[in-house]
Structure 1
Amino acid sequence: MVLKAELHCHIEGAASPALVEAQARKYGADVSSFIRDGAYCWRDFTTFLIAYDRAASLFRTAEDYALLAETHLTELARQGAIYSEFFTSPDHAERAGLSPQAYTEGLGEGIARAKRAAGIEARMIVTGVRHFGPEAVEKAARFAVTCGHPLVTGFGVAGDERVGHPRDFVRAFDIAREAGLGITIHAGEFGGADSVEAALDHLRPSRIGHGVRAIEQPDLLRRIAEEGIVLEVCPVSNIVLKVFPDFARHPFLQLRAAGCRLTLNSDDPPHFRTRLAREYEVAAEHFGLREAALLALTRTAVEAAFVDEETRAALLARIEAGS
Structure 2
Amino acid sequence: METPVNTRPLERLPKTHLHLHFTGSMRHSTLVELARERGVHLPQALVEEWPPKLRATDERGWFRFQRLYDIARSVLKTSDDLYRLVLEAAEDERAAGSGWLEIQVDPSGYASRFDGLTSTLELMLDAARVAERETGVGVGLVVAANRTKHPMDAKALARLAAQYAGRGVVGFGLNNDERRGRALEFEGAFRIARRAGLLSVPHGGELSGARSVRECLDTLDADRVGHGVRAVEDPYLIERIATQEVTLEVCPSSNVSLGVVEDVAHIPLRRLFSAGAPIALGTDDPLLFGPRLVEQYAIAREVFGFSDPELAELARMSVRGSAAPDSLKKELLAGVDAWLAVPPPSV
**Cα pair 2:87 2:130 within 8 Å, conserved:** yes
Distance 1:138 1:42 in 2: 35
- SS of 1:131's equivalent? coil
Report how far residue 247 of structure 1 moved.
2.4
Report how far residue 107 of structure 1 moved.
2.8
What's 1:64 paired with?
A: 81
Counterpart of 1:275 (choices 292, 298, 310) is: 292
Counterpart of 1:12 (choices 23, 34, 42) is: 23
Distance 1:102 1:39, change over 3 A: farther
- SS of 1:39's equivalent? coil
Matches within 5 A, 1:84-123: 84-123=101-140
Distance 1:82 1:62 in 2: 25
Query: Is 1:27 the equivalent of 2:38?
Result: yes
Query: Is 1:305 the equivalent of 2:331?
Result: no
Report how far residue 38 of structure 1 moved.
6.8
Of residues 254-263 and 170-179 in structure 1, the stretch that sits farther from structure 2 once superposed is: 254-263
What's 1:210 paired with?
A: 227
Q: Which amino acid aligns with 1:79?
A: A
Distance 1:149 1:55, change over 3 A: farther
**Cα pair 1:133 1:164 within 8 Å, conserved:** no
- Residue segments in structure 1 that go unaligned for 5+ positions in a row: none
Report how far residue 7 of structure 1 moved.
0.5
What's 1:73 paired with?
A: 90
Report how far residue 290 of structure 1 moved.
1.7
Distance 1:311 1:105 in 2: 24
Q: Which amino acid aligns with 2:52?
A: C
Query: What RMSD, in angstroms, separates the aligned Cα atoms of the two structures?
Result: 2.0
**Cα pair 1:62 1:103 within 8 Å, conserved:** no
Distance 2:103 2:49 in 1: 24
Which fold has the larger relative contact order, with Cα–Cα distance below 8 Å and residues 6 or more apart in sequence? Answer: 2
TM-score, reference length from structure 2: 0.87
- SS of 1:221's equivalent? helix
**How many residues are matched?**
323
Report how far residue 13 of structure 1 moved.
0.7
Report how far residue 321 of structure 1 moved.
4.1
Distance 1:149 1:91, change over 3 A: farther
- SS of 2:142's equivalent? strand
Distance 1:230 1:201, change over 3 A: same
Report how far residue 95 of structure 1 moved.
4.7
Q: Which amino acid aligns with 1:59?
A: L
Distance 1:34 1:97 in 2: 28
% identical equivalent positions: 32
| Deviation sequence 1:111-149 (CA, Å, 0-9, x none) | 333333332112111101111221221121111012467
Counterpart of 1:83 (choices 70, 94, 100) is: 100
- SS of 1:155's equivalent? strand
**Cα pair 1:64 1:106 within 8 Å, conserved:** no
Q: Which amino acid aligns with 2:37?
A: K
Matches within 5 A, 1:1-323: 1-32=12-43, 34-37=45-48, 39-41=50-52, 43-45=54-56, 46=62, 47-147=64-164, 150-322=167-339
Distance 2:165 2:238 in 1: 37
- SS of 2:19's equivalent? coil
Distance 2:269 2:156 in 1: 35
TM-score, reference length from structure 1: 0.93
Of residues 272-281 and 291-300 in structure 1, the stretch that sits farther from structure 2 once superposed is: 291-300
What's 2:344 paired with?
A: none
**Cα pair 1:212 1:251 within 8 Å, conserved:** yes
Report how far residue 34 of structure 1 moved.
4.6
Distance 1:304 1:40, change over 3 A: same
Distance 2:313 2:217 in 1: 25
Distance 1:94 1:133 in 2: 17
Of residues 31-40 and 151-160 in structure 1, the stretch that sits farther from structure 2 once superposed is: 31-40
| Deviation sequence 1:50-99 (CA, Å, 0-9, x none) | 11122112213332111100011101211221111110111211254543
Report how far residue 36 of structure 1 moved.
2.3
Q: Which amino acid aligns with 2:46?
A: I
- Residue segments in structure 2 that go unaligned for 5+ positions in a row: 1-11, 57-61, 341-347
